[in-house]
Homo-oligomer: A and B are copies of this chain.
Amino acid sequence: MAAPPHPRSTREKLLDAALATIRARGYAATTVEEICAAAGVTKGAFFHHFRNKEDLGVAAADHWSATTSDYFRTADFHRHADPLDRILGYVDLRRQLVRGALADFTCLVGTMAQEVYQSHPAIRDACGRSISAHAATLEADMEAAIAARAPDCNVTAKSLALHTQAVIQGAFILAKATGDVATAADQIDHLRRYLALLFSVPTGA
């Protein structure tokens, strides 16, 4: 934490390069030399900062967690007074982000987890922590919304928070498989509709 302001450290440059490359080509297919080239350093620097490639994978997942949690913690949707409005605001933000190049809006840890869940437990755990922690940031508002608007519905706040992530991750897979970004955005619309139905919000048609 408390990163030096402007001159990005070599470690940070390597981490940022790793994020971009892994998001585009996946963990196994990216080489450390590729990352070094993108960061503008050599392998000597790489292996000074990371014990091995797996170590970088864990650090990349942690770096991703830090970056994204900063982004969503300071996002605009928190201004809403009502918990449900904050939830829907979050969903709307996620929907807006689905545009442009696939590698620019898809999720690093979702991509990595699929690849390494069996071969690299340390990376898998880092990915799991990242997703779970992000979902947990929605839990309190989910809890409040359930209590206020769907008290008889037997869904837990935790499960519902995770569901938002499941739909979003699934949307990314569809976007990658079909090559159609609009298809992914549709999926988030369904997620919004589900939440609106569950919390009995009039949707207008």
In the complex, chain B residues whose CB is within 8 Å of the CB of A102: 117-118
Residue interface mask A190-205, B partner, CB < 8 A = 1: 1001100110000001
Residue interface mask A170-205, B partner, CB < 8 A = 1: 111110111100010011011001100110000001
Most buried by B among A111, A116, A124, A128: A128
- Asked if A173 and B114 sit within 8 Å, CB to CB, the answer is yes
Given known contacts A170-B167, A198-B193, A177 and B113 CB-to-CB distance under 8 angstroms: yes
Min CB gap A76→B, angstroms? 25
Is chain A's binding surface mostly helix, strand, loop or mixed?
Answer: helix
In the complex, chain B residues whose CB is within 8 Å of the CB of A155: 190, 193
Of the residues B28, B109, B169, B189, contact of A29 by C-beta under 8 Å: B28
Binds B, one of A63-71, A92-100, A156-164: A156-164
Of the residues B24, B154, B159, B186, contact of A118 by C-beta under 8 Å: B24
- Asked if A117 and B193 sit within 8 Å, CB to CB, the answer is no
In the complex, chain B residues whose CB is within 8 Å of the CB of A177: 109-110, 113, 117, 124, 127-128, 131-132
Interface residues on A, range: 35 or more
Min CB gap A148→B, angstroms? 17
Residue interface mask A114-142, B partner, CB < 8 A = 1: 11111100001001100110000000000
Residue interface mask A13-29, B partner, CB < 8 A = 1: 00000000000111011
- Asked if A162 and B179 sit within 8 Å, CB to CB, the answer is no
Nearest opposing residue in chain B for A200, CB measure = B197
- A165 at interface, CB cutoff 8 A: yes
Of the residues B111, B119, B183, contact of A25 by C-beta under 8 Å: B119
Given known contacts A110-B173, A170-B170, A178 and B132 CB-to-CB distance under 8 angstroms: yes
Between-chain CB contacts (< 8 Å), 16 pairs: A24-B118, A28-B28, A28-B115, A29-B119, A102-B117, A110-B177, A114-B176, A117-B179, A124-B179, A152-B205, A162-B183, A166-B173, A166-B187, A166-B190, A168-B170, A170-B173
